[in-house]
A = this chain, B = another copy of it.
Amino acid sequence: MTELRNLGLREVRVTGGFWERKIDMVAAEMLPYQWKALNDEVPGAEPSHAMENLRIAAGEKEGEFKGTVFQDSDVAKWLEAASYSLVHHPDPELEARVDEAIRIIAKAQRPDGYVNSYFIVASPEERWADLAWGHELYCAGHLIEAAVANYECSGKTLLLGVARRYADCIGRAFGPEPGKLRAVCGHPEIELALFRLYRATGEERYRDLASFFVDERGRDPSALEDKVPLAFEIPKTRWFRSDYFSGHAPVRLQRDAEGHAVRAVYLYSAMAEEYEASGDPALLAALRSLWDSVTGRRMYLTGGIGSQSHGERFTVDYDLPPDRAYAETCASIGLALWASRMTEIEGDGRYADVFERVLYNGVLSGVSLDGTSYFYVNPLEAEPRIAGARWDLEHVKTSRVRWLGCACCPPNLARIIASVGRYAYGASESSLWIHHYAESEARATVAGSRVLLRQRTDYPWGGKIEVLVDPEAPEGLDFGLKLRIPGWCGAFSCRVNGAAVEDSPVSKGYLELRRRWRPGDRVDLDLVMECRVLCADERISSLAGKVAVQRGPLVYCAEEVDDGPALHALSIDPAAPLRAEYLPDLMGGSVRVTAAGYREEAQAPEGEGRGGIPYAPLSVRREVPVAVRLVPYHQWGNRAPGGEMRVWLRARG
């Protein structure tokens, strides 16, 4: 176990490039837009009622609760995101909205600390009565995460106080002691939040309560099964048994990722926290096995997880159909959160590789470039004519929507983008780690002294990264600078102050530069960013014979707007060179890749030897050479929404 920990949000500042634009978009577009959505002020969008529910719970409005039972969590995630955003984008108007929302939540809190607008307004007699489906502790978790974020980012304590009182209320109700409820929430999240509250406050009782919830799950596999939800209908089928809740076995004995994908990766993230707290090797063994299950056998190329819409869940190994993918945006975010914690635990670049894969592909695809429309489901293949006509594709939307009745994803996107700096750097006792490349500054403590790191890069469009190293001590400081060499990178070069680095080892995915660093030292890392033609594991039957293109961390796709309709008729010649070019006018700046390929043309006249049926001798098949244009997957659907898209194309020859 390394003692590697990520730097905190306040220690890292994104200063330019790809991510500054995304963070600016959160501040300028997403947060104001989402506030309107949460207040039902977006014309044509599905109503949220989330703020209204809280106002009613606070006694400031009359009315009925509306929306899902976990509607509060949308507000909490928005508060968390807004708190992050305010660090780098001070904005009095936004701050006033944040403070107003917090004031209402505080007012809604019951004297014993309880706060949940659904159970206060709609179902006051049912507190803790529907743990399987009520999302009560899930909402509590997001409230606590928002509180810690708000406290850490603003120094304000009102919401933190609310959260502490609520956590104490939960601690009085739940636990292993006689007279308390020995039970867990159907949707993990409280565990993560309590670990975070523990770290923010130092109060060990929060850690212990978090550990209790982690350890309790799956102890009695029937505990969450066949419960009748208070507020909605769930089919009583094999898809909603204990594994749906990751409650089919005690967590230390779990080996394969099962059930609802978001629930699973939130739980695994909490297990990682529990491992960091306890060092229990049984937890590490479970985490490693679950990691291999998720990322080795049940993950899409984009980092998306959950290959079945019904139950939003995992199925079996290598069942990864590109058209019927669920790959919920929130599941991708959860996988990123877990990957970051695994990076801390293992200090191994393979975890950061997955973080990068899912962030740049399966997470960012969830939001339009302007920040105001969203995908809940992220397929790797969209054929609108078919998707609109099939029951088994009803979950697939081929254009992003303005808001969702179940709007978990939009504010979740805002919070991960606004806090992306948290995941970029790490520090261990004698090393500083750069996990992710982004134009940014980081202030860290290593070997007992302060160091400023500054990155300049146009990553992910290019692979050149300049790192300026400034130890505070004028005489310099001995430490290792660990630079992640991504798994996608086949060749790289590195210079320190202009001199080529020849003999520094790459270990577990990191190039370690260990020396006395002096103020003004400069590192130039060049990750050679070639277009790569990838194939899938031969056990993924739906991808047999197909290839995808990746450049750097970005997975590419063909879109109808570039390549015409009937993308299935395209194949690419994987032996031909791929051409990449940065186009400043393409979606505000993007690298387009062009491949040599073929398009199958209409066949010989119908009726000839086939009586009008849609099958004919192969000899009638005709192909013409075409240039196949590809764009980054996360940017799809921004130019001509509702068009076709494909990540995996047939390889010809």
Q: Does A532 contact B (CB under 8 A)?
A: yes
8 Å CB interface, A377-401 against B: 383, 385-386, 389-392
Q: Does A2 contact B (CB under 8 A)?
A: no
Q: Does A281 contact B (CB under 8 A)?
A: no
| Binary per-residue interface labels of chain A (514-539) against chain B in the complex, 1 for a CB within 8 Å, 0 otherwise | 00000000000000000011111111
Minimum distance in angstroms from A381 CB to a CB of chain B: 9
Determine if A308 and B391 form an interchain contact, defined as CB atoms under 8 angstroms apart.
yes
- A621-B535 contact, Cβ under 8 Å, with A299-B614, A650-B544: yes
Q: Does A136 contact B (CB under 8 A)?
A: no
- A389-B617 contact, Cβ under 8 Å, with A541-B568, A610-B487: no
Which residues of B have CB within 8 Å of A320?
A: 614
Which residues of B have CB within 8 Å of A606?
A: 296
Determine if A315 and B389 form an interchain contact, defined as CB atoms under 8 angstroms apart.
yes
Which residues of B have CB within 8 Å of A301?
A: 615
- The one of B299, B544, B548 in contact with A568, judged by C-beta atoms closer than 8 angstroms, is B544
Write the chain B residue with the least CB distance to A489: B609
Q: Does A353 contact B (CB under 8 A)?
A: yes
- The one of B538, B603, B609 in contact with A537, judged by C-beta atoms closer than 8 angstroms, is B603
Which residues of B have CB within 8 Å of A209?
A: none
Determine if A616 and B535 form an interchain contact, defined as CB atoms under 8 angstroms apart.
yes
Determine if B299 and A490 form an interchain contact, defined as CB atoms under 8 angstroms apart.
no
- The one of B391, B574, B600, B613 in contact with A299, judged by C-beta atoms closer than 8 angstroms, is B613
| Binary per-residue interface labels of chain A (582-620) against chain B in the complex, 1 for a CB within 8 Å, 0 otherwise | 000000000000000000111100100111111111101
Q: Does A318 contact B (CB under 8 A)?
A: yes
Which residues of B have CB within 8 Å of A308?
A: 390-392
Q: Does A316 contact B (CB under 8 A)?
A: yes
Determine if A296 and B612 form an interchain contact, defined as CB atoms under 8 angstroms apart.
yes
8 Å CB interface, A288-327 against B: 292, 295-297, 299, 301, 308-311, 315-316, 318-320, 324
- The one of B310, B617, B650 in contact with A392, judged by C-beta atoms closer than 8 angstroms, is B310
| Binary per-residue interface labels of chain A (617-653) against chain B in the complex, 1 for a CB within 8 Å, 0 otherwise | 1101100000000000000000000000000001101
**Cα–Cα, bound, A295→B613 (Å):** 6
8 Å CB interface, A67-85 against B: none
Number of A residues with CB within 8 Å of any CB on chain B: 72
Determine if B544 and A569 form an interchain contact, defined as CB atoms under 8 angstroms apart.
yes
- The one of B297, B309, B319, B614 in contact with A297, judged by C-beta atoms closer than 8 angstroms, is B614
Q: Count copies of this chain in the complex.
A: 2
Write the chain B residue with the least CB distance to A542: B568
Determine if B615 and A537 form an interchain contact, defined as CB atoms under 8 angstroms apart.
yes
| Binary per-residue interface labels of chain A (315-357) against chain B in the complex, 1 for a CB within 8 Å, 0 otherwise | 1101110001000000000000000000000000110011001
**Cα–Cα, bound, A81→B651 (Å):** 50
Write the chain B residue with the least CB distance to A383: B541
Write the chain B residue with the least CB distance to A651: B618
Which residues of B have CB within 8 Å of A539?
A: 566, 614
- A316-B354 contact, Cβ under 8 Å, with A535-B615, A600-B544, A613-B296: no
**Cα–Cα, bound, A245→B95 (Å):** 58
Determine if B389 and A319 form an interchain contact, defined as CB atoms under 8 angstroms apart.
yes
Determine if B620 and A386 form an interchain contact, defined as CB atoms under 8 angstroms apart.
no
Determine if B545 and A316 form an interchain contact, defined as CB atoms under 8 angstroms apart.
no
**Cα–Cα, bound, A535→B316 (Å):** 31
Write the chain B residue with the least CB distance to A607: B350
Write the chain B residue with the least CB distance to A621: B535
Minimum distance in angstroms from A599 CB to a CB of chain B: 9
Q: Does A253 contact B (CB under 8 A)?
A: no
Determine if A534 and B618 form an interchain contact, defined as CB atoms under 8 angstroms apart.
yes
**Cα–Cα, bound, A308→B389 (Å):** 10
**Cα–Cα, bound, A535→B618 (Å):** 5
Q: Does A416 contact B (CB under 8 A)?
A: no
Minimum distance in angstroms from A72 CB to a CB of chain B: 30
Q: Does A547 contact B (CB under 8 A)?
A: yes
Determine if B392 and A324 form an interchain contact, defined as CB atoms under 8 angstroms apart.
yes
**Cα–Cα, bound, A309→B391 (Å):** 9
Determine if A535 and B620 form an interchain contact, defined as CB atoms under 8 angstroms apart.
yes
Which residues of B have CB within 8 Å of A357?
A: 613
Determine if B319 and A536 form an interchain contact, defined as CB atoms under 8 angstroms apart.
no
| Binary per-residue interface labels of chain A (211-244) against chain B in the complex, 1 for a CB within 8 Å, 0 otherwise | 0000000000000000000000000000100000
8 Å CB interface, A270-299 against B: 292, 295-297, 299
Minimum distance in angstroms from A608 CB to a CB of chain B: 10
Minimum distance in angstroms from A233 CB to a CB of chain B: 12
**Cα–Cα, bound, A547→B545 (Å):** 13
- A616-B547 contact, Cβ under 8 Å, with A316-B385, A354-B611, A389-B315: no
Write the chain B residue with the least CB distance to A509: B611
Determine if A611 and B353 form an interchain contact, defined as CB atoms under 8 angstroms apart.
yes
A-B contact pairs, 20 of them (CB 8 A): A295-B611, A295-B612, A296-B606, A297-B614, A299-B614, A315-B386, A318-B614, A349-B611, A350-B611, A354-B613, A386-B541, A532-B617, A533-B618, A534-B616, A536-B615, A538-B566, A538-B621, A539-B614, A544-B650, A545-B571
Other than the known A532-B617, A539-B614, what 5 A-B pairs have Cβ atoms closer than 8 Å? A295-B611, A316-B389, A320-B614, A544-B569, A653-B653
Q: Which 4 residue pairs are nearest across A and B when measured between Cβ atoms?
A: A537-B614, A541-B568, A350-B611, A392-B392
